Amino acid sequence: MNVENFYNLISGEYTEMLERIVPRYREMLWMILDYVPKDLNPKRIVDLGCGTGNLSEVILNQYPESDLIAVDLSTSILDIAAKRLENYPNIKYLNEDFNALDFKTGSIDLAVSSIALHHLTDKEKEKLLKKIYSWLSPKGILIFGDQFAGSTDARYQQHMSNWKLSAEGKNTPESEWTLWMDHQQNHDYHTTVENYFNWCKQMGFKNSDVVWRYFLWVVFIAHKP
Ligand SMILES: C[S@@+](CC[C@H](N)C(=O)[O-])C[C@H]1O[C@@H](n2cnc3c(N)ncnc32)[C@H](O)[C@@H]1O
């Protein structure tokens, strides 16, 4: 099953499943919001891989006057986001693949994402980062939370076993864990934070940083000068 069909299939119970399986998920979203520089006042925001709109909602509650473009590959999940966030008139939904996505140069002030960019291969991540850099306005910010590899395979394996323990602690059914792991094996490309630091530097981003981490989950920020 491809990524689009997977998210179409689970879209109905997606948010509950995610909160069961991802430890400290809400905290990660708050950290994404918290580390947006306080003087940014973004007018145009993009949420890359918005899913059911969990991060879009957190961001728009802070920036109610901003326009937000919520991008996702799955039409079913976008329908749920649109229904759930119908009281937020400033959201535009875009059913598009990251690989085909394009915006005008300098037209985005803030690019956010949560647990979505790891669906791209490293080559695709690099290409997307390059596009994000061009979309961002001067002083624009990219900040996203995602699942990452460890800097060594042993550390990655330790993150994985800690994740499993945490999922068991939250009474995640074994069948749900297996579903995520099958999806992860077939469609997820966890990379290292070091790769992101290198790509961001090459592209001209400044002050890249990891501002939060828990097992596989990292919140990464990069500034366009
Ligand atoms: C794990 S979900 C995260 C959703 C949301 N950001 C959240 O925190 O709940 C990943 C989302 O990324 C979307 N996605 C995956 N690959 C994509 C791609 N190549 N282009 C656009 N969206 C993609 C999926 O459809 C899915 O909704």
Residue 12 has pLDDT above 80, yes or no: no
71 Cα: distance to centroid of ligand 1 (angstroms): 8
| Ligand 1, atom 17, residue with closest C-alpha | 73
List residues near ligand 1 (CB under 6 A). 3, 7, 18, 49-52, 54-55, 71-74, 77, 97-98, 114-116, 119
72 Cα: distance to centroid of ligand 1 (angstroms): 6
Strand locations in 31-151, DSSP E? 44-48, 67-72, 91-95, 108-114, 136-147
Residue 1 has pLDDT above 70, yes or no: no
Reduced to 3 states, what is the DSSP secondary structure of residue 44? Answer: strand
Measure the CA–CA gap between 160 and 164, rounded to whole angstroms.
6
Please give the single-letter amino acid code of residue 34.
D
Domain range spanning residue 40? 3-223
Number of domains in the chain: 1
Between CA 29 and CA 160, with CA 111 as vertex, the angle to 5 degrees is: 45
CATH number at residue 116: 3.40.50.150
102 Cα: distance to centroid of ligand 1 (angstroms): 17
pLDDT digits (tens, 9 = 90+) for 58-69: 999 999 999 999
pTM: 0.96
Query: Which string of b and e fits 94-107 if b means at least 16 CB within 10 Å?
Result: eeeebeebebeeee
